[in-house]
Structure 1
Amino acid sequence: MTNDRSIQAKKLLNDRFGFENFRAGQEEAISSVLEERHALVMLPTGTGKTLCYQLPSYLLGGSTVIISPLLSLMEDQVEKMKSSGEKSVVALNSFLSYSEKQTILRNLSAYKFIFVSPEMLQQQGMIDQLKKIDLSLLVIDEAHCISQWGMDFRADYLKLGKVRHELNNPLTLALTATAVEQVRKDILSVLNISSEVDQIIYPVDRPSIQLRVAESVGDKKDQLLQAVSEFKGPGIVYFSSKKLADEMAELLRSQLGIPCESYHSDLDKEDKRKIQSQFLSDTLPVICATSAFGMGIDKPDIRFIIHYHLPGSPEMYLQEIGRCSRDRKGGVALLLYENGDEAIQMRLQENTLPDRDELVYAYRHADKLESLKDDTKINISRHFIEQSIPFEQAAEIVERYQTHKSVQLSTMVDYARRKGCKRDVLLDYFAEKPEVRRNGCCSGCSRTLSLPYDPVEWPNFLQNSEDLWQDKLKFLFNLQS
């Protein structure tokens, strides 16, 4: 990055985004983009990956297209950008009516930031409209979805190499928080940027987060009540079950007397926004949620993350606990583990991957797939058929993927059961070693752990929120006074 561009970038960082300094990895990523070099950026959850494309977009000119896999995340990002004063931003997804979509497409060049789902990019009309605009930067958010070995493989993401080619191979920025080396290789290969790319890879470890595992023997509810009572401050409790999230939110309200709500995909859009707003403003200190909550929630002072159920992979676990202690002032990640908890994840895996019989049916009745329920099994089978992958090769790919998912789950079981250092288990999976160990490190390293932050008593916490919620909202959304 030239000296002039560096000065411009730092001025923009302060004037538009309200920060005095870049976080680790941000300046390197922005420099690559401004030098018009493709980049694969892996930064830990909570380190501000969105800035890596938002800031340079203002200096590049033209439009930036951001491909995002989750509609809720896309909507959150658009709303946040609008709240911070950026009006030329739009999301193209299934939430739009036909007339709304057509109006946006006719005026697409007027938008600086265009968020789009990978599914929308399979429509030739969408590609034709994007080819007409001055596309300065193509951003692939959650880029690990490209790889069959990633945390959240999406068949539509595998088609992004073709999409990129149709858009005349624009400058490309791929972003992820958790990707092992094989996943990173897949990302570069699918996007066809392997030979001319800057890889900006930072460790996944978050030393300010203390790792704890509590073994349960039919007493998880009591352990949850005790933990929330001890940890205090803002926190999220994750569940694999929507029903249990509802029940535990009611239990925390009734037993501890604290404001607490559940959050999952059954809530309507308005209720989701209300809960998010209350959590950000500290009027709602605890959320009981499924994995639907947390993406795009940039709250710096979340103090604890509790998992009531065992996550399916180290990638997912690190991403979810990474929402804690973004201000680096300390946090706790607690996993409540009972022997046999892994059975839940095994059932979930069975429901997302086609078995051999289902693949046989798909290949024999490819013409009927369009009329079947749109789920992961159908999407994966359809992808194999559309790519003319022979049946036996497709079956082998699924078998390898199932094996990999088993390795991911086994790593999490090892993490839960390991008597030694818990952090080492997670970092070994990513072929990393801890650079520092703080706050006692984990429950495997220290038998007695104190909180790595100063807890705020619930009454004081709630009283403070009445005084500070307006200032916090301004800070979180970069609003001008």
Structure 2
Amino acid sequence: MISESQLTTVLQQRFDYPSFRPGQLEVISAIMNGQSTLAVLPTGAGKTLLYQLPAYLMNGSVVIVSPLLSLMQDQVSRLRSNGEKSVIMLSSLQSVEQRRMALVRLQHYRFIFASPEVLAQPNVISALEHTRLSLFVVDEAHCVSQWGPDFRPHYLMLKNLLRQLQLPTILMLTATATKQVQQDILVKLGLDEQPVKKVVRSVNRENIFMAVKKSLNSADKRQQLLELVTQLVGPGVIYFSSRKQATQISQWLQEQTGLSVAAYHAGIDQTTRYKIQHQFMQNELQIICATSAFGMGIDKDDIRYVIHYHLCANLENYVQEIGRAGRDGRQSIAILLYSAGDEQIPRRLNQLTIPSQQVVEDFVAGQIKVEQLGDIGELLNFYVMAGWNAEQINQGFILRKQQENEQLMAMLQYINSNDCRRNLVLTYFDEVKIEHDQNCCDGKETKWSASSLGLQRTLSSDKQMQAASFDWHERLEQLFFGKS
């Protein structure tokens, strides 16, 4: 059994960190003991280290299941930039020949990244069965519970895959999970009857002030946003539900303020997204207007504010996204802008993901083909192939719709509360309430301003941002194409 001092030595020598962050040592020790572990650690807790460090001490490959292609690409790029060559990503971006060669050499890779859909393919499963696995990582493990019934049925197939692989040590990672979701993760991965180590840390980030600003209409909301970004010191991230609005408002903010602002979402090509991310990391962009695609795997310590222009569908997503502020421990702020009726956006999105009972019945009866329904067709086909009848499928969708409505109501309760917002969040995640103070939130009639929180923009703070003196498009040309 490896000692704490030995693990600390590896941490310092290979990763150049002086000490472990809260929760890291406990998780890594359990993994090195061969114990499957569920780690619920807040955003910024350093979850990638939990599998990277053991990978250098174990004899075998580490498989990392991830929900997003962009997240996998970011993690692979970071490992390679740190000198790690034995890393591969199995994805749809590979050609047939590239995939074949990767699977032939799979046992030679230390890190293997893949989506649950890729891991369901027979040739990939066969290659994994012939690979010595030391650890199987389910990143963003709440997706097993949240996404499985809706968009990603292949998450539900991981249970069978793990059995085929003879249940290697399993690490489940997430930033937010209620007790119910924690149990759901274990059940759906087939681990509910096994001894699993749980390492759960509070979602509370004391240095993030939590506030809600209500507006009369969309024009009023825009004006409030403009006032906030001109008052608050950056860097900052503004989240949108709409790609179109993220792009439009980023351009508008740059025109109105002279700040360096860029949009980031899946509608922008991969190369440009990488450039924008690089500039933001280097403080050459002051504000990112993003969809939820931005943030996973982004390790930037000095984000001072996160503003939500649109409503999150649930507190899990909201807490995870605001947790990207203030990772350096300094004062930061999370602000949610709300206009009456904003909840209709997530409500409509929820309804769009669930087919009607008649569509389900017609599909099961063979009257509708998979390709006629797109992603919904793939989902329904998954359940049919698993032996579900129309009534069972419809009951599953009804239950999920109820859960989504309850989550949305909890989000609205957070917005409309006159009490301590932090305690409302802690209660939601089954945690103990704390005593309210003036640096907590805008509940209990607490008055706040950028100045009172020490987040006021000043001339000196602007000068520290490298991008203030030139257009960021021009800087990108200089950076990547050598133009002066």
SS at match of 2:39: strand
Deviations 1:268-321 (A, max 9, x none): 110000000000000001001111111111001100000011110001101110
* Cα gap change, 1:11 to 1:215, in 2 (>3 Å): same
- Distance, in Å, in 2 between the alignment partners of 1:456 and 1:81 is 35
- Distance, in Å, in 2 between the alignment partners of 1:80 and 1:56 is 17
Unaligned regions of 5+ residues in structure 2, if any?
469-484
- Distance, in Å, in 1 between the alignment partners of 2:459 and 2:268 is 26
SS at match of 1:318: helix
Q: Which residue of 1 aligns with 2:309?
A: 308
Choose which of 20, 24, 27 in structure 2 pairs with 1:26: 24
SS at match of 1:61: coil
Matches within 5 A, 1:369-448: 369=370, 371-372=371-372, 374-375=374-375, 377-435=376-434, 437=436, 440-448=439-447
Q: Which residue of 2 aligns with 1:474?
A: none
Matches within 5 A, 1:18-167: 18-148=16-146, 154-167=152-165
- Distance, in Å, in 2 between the alignment partners of 1:267 and 1:464 is 24
- How many matched pairs? 463
Give aligned-pair identity as a percent. 41
Kindly indicate whether the alpha-carbon contact (under 8 Å) linking 2:263 and 2:290 is maintained by their aligned counterparts in 1. Answer: yes
Structure 1, 223-232 or 177-186: larger mean CA deviation: 177-186
* Cα gap change, 1:400 to 1:240, in 2 (>3 Å): same
* Cα gap change, 1:108 to 1:438, in 2 (>3 Å): farther
Choose which of 166, 169, 177 in structure 1 pairs with 2:167: 169
SS at match of 2:345: helix
* Alpha-carbon offset, residue 442 of structure 1: 0.9
- Distance, in Å, in 2 between the alignment partners of 1:151 and 1:6 is 40
- Distance, in Å, in 2 between the alignment partners of 1:201 and 1:436 is 21
* Alpha-carbon offset, residue 208 of structure 1: 1.2
Deviations 1:167-220 (A, max 9, x none): 121111111111112211121122222222101111212111100100100201
Matches within 5 A, 1:212-223: 212-218=211-217, 219-223=220-224
- Distance, in Å, in 1 between the alignment partners of 2:62 and 2:78 is 16
- Counterpart of 2:229, as a letter, is V
Structure 1, 272-281 or 205-214: larger mean CA deviation: 205-214
Kindly indicate whether the alpha-carbon contact (under 8 Å) linking 1:139 and 1:173 is maintained by their aligned counterparts in 2. Answer: yes
- Distance, in Å, in 2 between the alignment partners of 1:338 and 1:240 is 14
Kindly indicate whether the alpha-carbon contact (under 8 Å) linking 1:253 and 1:259 is maintained by their aligned counterparts in 2. Answer: yes
Kindly indicate whether the alpha-carbon contact (under 8 Å) linking 1:282 and 1:462 is maintained by their aligned counterparts in 2. Answer: no
Deviations 1:246-265 (A, max 9, x none): 11111111111000001111
- Distance, in Å, in 1 between the alignment partners of 2:211 and 2:160 is 44
* Alpha-carbon offset, residue 367 of structure 1: 8.0
Asked if residue 206 in structure 1 is aligned to residue 205 in structure 2, the reply is: yes
Structure 1, 192-201 or 50-59: larger mean CA deviation: 192-201
Kindly indicate whether the alpha-carbon contact (under 8 Å) linking 1:130 and 1:167 is maintained by their aligned counterparts in 2. Answer: yes
- Distance, in Å, in 2 between the alignment partners of 1:214 and 1:152 is 31
- Distance, in Å, in 2 between the alignment partners of 1:305 and 1:46 is 14
- Distance, in Å, in 1 between the alignment partners of 2:146 and 2:342 is 25
- Counterpart of 2:40, as a letter, is M
* Cα gap change, 1:127 to 1:458, in 2 (>3 Å): farther
Deviations 1:406-455 (A, max 9, x none): 01111111111112211222222212234465652111134312444454
What is the TM-score when the length of structure 2 is the normalising length?
A: 0.91
Q: Which residue of 1 aligns with 2:262?
A: 261
* Cα gap change, 1:208 to 1:165, in 2 (>3 Å): same
Kindly indicate whether the alpha-carbon contact (under 8 Å) linking 1:147 and 1:153 is maintained by their aligned counterparts in 2. Answer: no
- Distance, in Å, in 1 between the alignment partners of 2:37 and 2:201 is 13
Kindly indicate whether the alpha-carbon contact (under 8 Å) linking 1:411 and 1:425 is maintained by their aligned counterparts in 2. Answer: no
- Distance, in Å, in 2 between the alignment partners of 1:455 and 1:374 is 48
SS at match of 1:412: helix
* Alpha-carbon offset, residue 95 of structure 1: 1.4
Structure 1, 312-321 or 92-101: larger mean CA deviation: 92-101
- Distance, in Å, in 1 between the alignment partners of 2:418 and 2:322 is 21
Q: Which residue of 1 aligns with 2:13?
A: 15
Unaligned regions of 5+ residues in structure 1, if any?
468-481
Q: Which residue of 2 aligns with 1:470?
A: none
Kindly indicate whether the alpha-carbon contact (under 8 Å) linking 1:236 and 1:289 is maintained by their aligned counterparts in 2. Answer: yes
Structure 1, 282-291 or 85-94: larger mean CA deviation: 85-94
Kindly indicate whether the alpha-carbon contact (under 8 Å) linking 1:144 and 1:152 is maintained by their aligned counterparts in 2. Answer: no
* Alpha-carbon offset, residue 462 of structure 1: 4.6
Q: Which residue of 1 aligns with 2:299?
A: 298
SS at match of 2:15: coil
* Cα gap change, 1:88 to 1:464, in 2 (>3 Å): same
Deviations 1:48-67 (A, max 9, x none): 11111111111112110000
Structure 1, 271-280 or 7-16: larger mean CA deviation: 7-16
Q: Which residue of 1 aligns with 2:231?
A: 230
- Counterpart of 1:240, as a letter, is S
* Cα gap change, 1:359 to 1:450, in 2 (>3 Å): same
